[in-house]
Structure 1
Amino acid sequence: MIILVFFLVHWYLSVLMQTVFLHRYAAHQMFTMRKGWEKVFYVVTFIAQGSSFLSPRAYGIMHRLHHAHADTQDDPHSPEFSKNLFDMMWKTRLYYNDILNDRDTISARFKKGVPNWPWMERFGDRWLVRVAWMAIYVLVYVQFAASPWLFLLLPIHFLMGPVHGAIINWYAHRYGYTNFTVDDTAKNLLPFDFLMMGESYHNNHHKFGGRPNFGGFRWHEFDPAYPLLKLLNSLRIIQLRRGRDEAYM
């Protein structure tokens, strides 16, 4: 039971920070915050994602390219131009690393306003740091795992961030339903998003790329991250932008 709780806490904290900080803030600028709070979000994201920490700067730039070139050859992660899920993940990794290490030739317009804390980005990307997080996960399992089969969950802990991205970038472009006609294959993966904190309403998001509420177009569509954004806005930790109902690009 302890291990399952640990896994679920890690899963939901990781996907929460990915959708709120990396996706809605870094990529789409659906809200603003002061630099001090931005660093707090960096640290919480680092803790939540652990060994799979994703650079908010690189993620934001790459995701903007995804919206601008969805399901074309210029899309950093499209199932339409990948042999399988793992091929897409590998191509995404190469694209991400080029941005992270300033080896890209991406237009400056995609980089405007993305958060960038160079020290934390370098620290979170160090292999020694990633291995240390992995060791922590293994020690938790050694201490509390009631069955050897539970150790099969460890690879998901190790790659939590990329796993979350792959679920949406592959499966939400392959399976699900649509509310809107868009210029790509984005679909709403789950009728009720109990798994991805609103991220699975991908068709809705591709239609209204700047809208902070990913759900709400059908009675069963509930975006769990949106009430949190409203709470943070009421506490003046963030400031939601008004009228953000248009696509980013």
Structure 2
Amino acid sequence: MIIILFVLVLWYGGLFFQSFFLHRYAAHQVFTMSKSMERLTFVLTWIFQGASYLSAYGYGIMHRMHHAYTDTEQDPHSPSHDANVFAMMWKTKNVYQDINQQRIVVDQRFTKNVPQWKSFDSFASSRLSRLLWIGLYILFFAFFATAWWQWLLLPVTLFMAPIHGVIINWFGHIYGYVNFKMKNTSKNLFPFDFLMMGEGYHNNHHKYASRANFGVKWHEIDMTYLIIKVLDALGFIQLKPIPVRK
């Protein structure tokens, strides 16, 4: 039971900070926060993503490129141009690393105001940091696993962020339903997104990329947005005005 709870905490904790910080803040800037709050969120993202930590800078730029080039050959991740999910994720990894290590020239429209904390990212993304998290996860499993099958969940904890990416960027362009006909393959995975905390409303998000709330219909409850509303009410962040829907 403890192992299951541990994996669920990492799943939803890592997913929240990926959605809240990397996606809605770094890439789309649907709200603002103080520099101190931003630094705190960097650290919390590292804690909850652990071994699969993603840089806000690399993620933010790559996601903006995804929106600009959706389902074209320039898209960093698209089922339309990658033979299988492993090929897509390998390409995604290469693009992400090229951005972070400045091996490619990136258009300024993709870099504007993307948060970056170079010294922290250098440590959090390092091999040392990832190995430390891996070691801690293995120790946790060694102490609390009560059945052999629970060890099958260890790889999930190690590759949590890429798994989240696969669900949205691969399956979210293949399976699901569509609220808006668009010139791309984006789909909503679930009528109620219990698994991805609102990220599964991918078709809605491609239609209204600058909206903090990814849900559109009454049953499309966006759990990340509800938390954002609470944080806004408490003054930790400041939501930007909601764009007028057309």
Distance 2:244 2:169 in 1: 22
Q: Which stretches of structure 1, 4 residues or more, deviate above 3 A after TM superposition?
A: 244-247
> Which residue does the alignment assign to 1:56?
56
Distance 1:194 1:203 in 2: 16
1:155 is the counterpart of 2:155: yes
Distance 2:162 2:134 in 1: 15
Distance 1:128 1:81, change over 3 A: same
Distance 1:126 1:20 in 2: 23
Distance 1:121 1:165, change over 3 A: same
Distance 1:87 1:245, change over 3 A: farther
Structure 2 segments unaligned to the other structure (5+ residues): none
| 1:118-133 mapped onto 2 (5 Å cutoff) | 118-133=118-133
1:201·1:214 contact (CA, 8 Å) conserved in 2? yes
Distance 1:172 1:245, change over 3 A: farther
| 1:72-87 mapped onto 2 (5 Å cutoff) | 72-87=72-87
Percentage identity across paired residues of the two chains: 51
Distance 1:244 1:61 in 2: 22
1:210·1:246 contact (CA, 8 Å) conserved in 2? no
Distance 1:234 1:218 in 2: 23
How far off its partner does 1:154 sit?
0.9
Counterpart amino acid of residue 231 in structure 1: V
How far off its partner does 1:120 sit?
1.1
How far off its partner does 1:246 sit?
7.1
Counterpart amino acid of residue 111 in structure 1: T
| 1:23-34 mapped onto 2 (5 Å cutoff) | 23-34=23-34
Distance 2:5 2:91 in 1: 32
Counterpart amino acid of residue 65 in structure 1: M
Distance 1:114 1:91 in 2: 22
How far off its partner does 1:219 sit?
2.6
Distance 2:149 2:245 in 1: 46
Q: 1:81 is paired with a residue of what secondary structure? A: coil
Query: Per-residue displacement from partner, 1:127-163 (whole Å, max 9, x unpaired)?
Result: 0110110111111111111111111111111111111
TM-score (structure 1 length as normaliser): 0.97
Distance 2:21 2:245 in 1: 19
> Which residue does the alignment assign to 1:193?
193
Q: 2:192 is paired with a residue of what secondary structure? A: coil
The CA RMSD measured in Å over matched residues stands at: 1.1
